Amino acid sequence: MPFNFDKPTQRRGTGSVKWDMLPEDVLPVWVADMDFESPEEIKEALRGLVDHQIYGYAWPKEELFTVIINRLKDRHGWEIKKEWIVLLPGLVPGLHAAARTLPKERSSVMTSTPVYFHLFKAAGSAGNQTIEVPFAQKDKKWVMDFASMQNALTSSTGMYMLCNPHNPNGRVFSKDELEQVSDFCLNNDLVLVSDEIHCDLILDNSKKHISVASLNKEIENQSITLLAPSKTWNIAGLGGSMAIIPNSDIRKKFQDAAYGIMPHMNNWQMASMLAAYTHGEPWRKELISYLQANQEYLLKEINGIPGLSMEPCEATYLAWIACDKENPEEYLRKHGLGVSGAHQFNGKGYFRLNFGTQRANLEKAVAILKEAFGSNS
């Protein structure tokens, strides 16, 4: 039975960060959650917990680990072991815990910017240095600048944080690129942290997600891979996530860093994760088709607006739009559209627009952009 992604949702007044943080006259297309109802199987799993009427501490079912192991084998070509899995209450805490695994003498963290802000804030929150190396552009694509990354290394650099698929530039990095990431980390003795939260949201049918840790045993043993169903099945507010950490020493340091400050997963997270991974594939496939159509519409419209341009994003539902306004976030808010400015990602000259919404909302957003930029005001 087809899913109705055009079905309007009323999110204002529900405690939604996306909708209730902005004034009512501003259409929000900023923070990365979608405006689609989650699959019925997830709703049923959560209803079952409500009906049980006891909300105590949770213990994961063996089935959850089996589903995760099978999923990584089938979809990522990566065979993992149960003991490698560390269940988390959210992916962001995983990034910050990862940064805290490093010894003081090797505690600085490198990442490529612009990037989702917790990748460049994780080291700083632990009182350590972040080394930011800007992406380069080649053939209209964002690529990691390995020469500049090598030059930026210091004796204190102990980790590289990767976002793949990338937020906000939408890249799905190729096997060749990821092999270069692997070589860079292995040659310089860096722990690789790979944020792969958008791995099930590939829009370009010619692309395939590859977990960099699956490439070889050496990088697998030097890696922390962070995953979650939250972005794909629109359950980000529940938070259920995981880290895959093959190296027992790194895994213990990660767990020690999280101890006492990161809560255990609760039943809501476990149930939603299990339902998403077990039953969510038909919904996900139709979601991808809807997002592809939304992006096709947006590409055509954006590239016809003076002062704006957009390249296709290979994954995610987040358009990365070049703009000739100095502060497009503030400018567009005055016109009634809420976007994420490039400064949030330590970039400039762009803004991010979330097209994971009903086509009617996207058409309203395009109309605002045309009015805001077409007048050259």
pLDDT in tens, 360-374: 999 999 999 999 998
Give residue 376's pLDDT.
Answer: 47
CATH number for the domain harbouring residue 336: 3.90.1150.10
User: Could you tell me if residue 37 is inside a domain?
Assistant: no
Residues 6+ apart with CB under 8 A from 366: 297, 298, 301, 302
Q: Are the C-beta atoms of 226 and 195 separated by less than 8 Å?
A: yes
Domain's final residue, options 235, 256, 278: 278
How many independent structural domains does the chain possess?
A: 2
Give yes or no: residues 106 and 255 share one domain: yes
Give residue 374's pLDDT.
Answer: 84
CATH number for the domain harbouring residue 234: 3.40.640.10
Q: How far is CA 216 from CA 80, 175, 182, 213, 277, in A?
A: 13, 12, 8, 7, 26
Q: How far is CA 293 from CA 70, 229, 329, 332, in A?
A: 30, 22, 25, 24
Domain's final residue, options 255, 278, 301: 278
pLDDT in tens, 167-179: 999 999 999 999 9
User: Could you tell me if residue 8 is inside a domain?
Assistant: no
Give yes or no: residues 262 and 289 share one domain: no
- Region label for 287, one of left (φ > 0), alpha (ψ between -120 and 50) or beta (otherwise): alpha
Where residue 203 falls among pLDDT bands split at 50, 70, 90? Answer: very high
Give yes or no: residues 143 and 289 share one domain: no
Angle at 233 between CA 286 and CA 267, to 5 degrees: 145
User: Could you tell me if residue 127 is inside a domain?
Assistant: yes
The parent domain of residue 165 ranges over 62-278
Give yes or no: residues 146 and 292 share one domain: no
pLDDT in tens, 274-322: 999 999 999 999 999 999 999 999 999 999 999 999 999 999 999 999 9
- What does pLDDT average to over the chain? 97
pLDDT of 377 strictly over 80 = no
Closest CA to 87 of 256, 219, 244: 244
Give yes or no: residues 292 and 173 share one domain: no
Give residue 1's pLDDT.
Answer: 55
User: Could you tell me if residue 241 is inside a domain?
Assistant: yes
pLDDT in tens, 62-102: 999 999 999 999 999 999 999 999 999 999 999 999 999 99
User: Could you tell me if residue 47 is inside a domain?
Assistant: no
User: Could you tell me if residue 49 is inside a domain?
Assistant: no
User: Could you tell me if residue 42 is inside a domain?
Assistant: no
Region of poorest pLDDT, from 1-5, 73-77, 253-257, 324-328: 1-5
